[in-house]
Each structure stands twice: as structure tokens, then as C-alpha cells.
Amino acid sequence: MASVRSTRASAAVERLKKRTGHPGYSMARTGDGLFFLSEQPGAPPLCAPLELDEFVAFVNGLGPQEQKRVTKHDLAFEKQLVKKKPT
């Protein structure tokens, strides 16, 4: 179970590295299984040690956010929803 937790946390860090273009971000775990992030190995942590879900949410909130791809079908669907709303 611990490896699944680490994989989910490290995947969040890898996405952050890709979004920011900063390859130095480093994740570490405490002895009691909490996670923290630093800008490079050995640097001061950017957050207090966090539980897995809190850590992933923290990391996902950093840096530029990926723009959701919107297709012409998505736009047409949105227009239909707007038309059907009562005024």
C-alpha cells in the first residue's frame, strides 16, 4: 500500500515539474508516512509534512495550471445548456 501512496505523490510532483519547467522539485517522506516538498533535495521544505491527499492537493495547486482542452462539441453542448436554462 505504501508504494501506491508514494507513486501517487511522486506523480503529482512530476506533473508540477512539467508544468513549471523546474526539474529540481523534490518530494520526501517522514518516518510516520507524511510527505513534504522542496525546490531541490536538501532545500527547506515548501510545506509542513502533509497526509497524502493534502500533499497531492498542495502540489497540484502550485505553478501554472494546465488549460483544459475544449472542443467545438464541448462549446456546442455549453450553448445548449444555456438555452435550456429558465430565465
> pLDDT of 40-74, one tens digit each?
888 999 999 999 999 999 999 987 776 677 788 88
What separation in angstroms does the CA of 17 have from each of 12, 41, 62, 63, 70?
9, 14, 10, 9, 24
Query: What SS3 string covers the chain?
Result: CHHHHHHHHHHHHHHHHHHHCCCCCEEEECCCCCEEEECCCCCCECCCCECHHHHHHHHHHCCCCCCCCCCHHHHHHHHHHHHHCCC
Length reported for the chain: 87
pLDDT of amino acid 41: 86
pTM of full prediction above 0.85: no
> pLDDT of 5-27, one tens digit each?
678 999 999 999 998 999 999 99
What residues does each domain of the chain span? 2-84
pLDDT of amino acid 87: 55
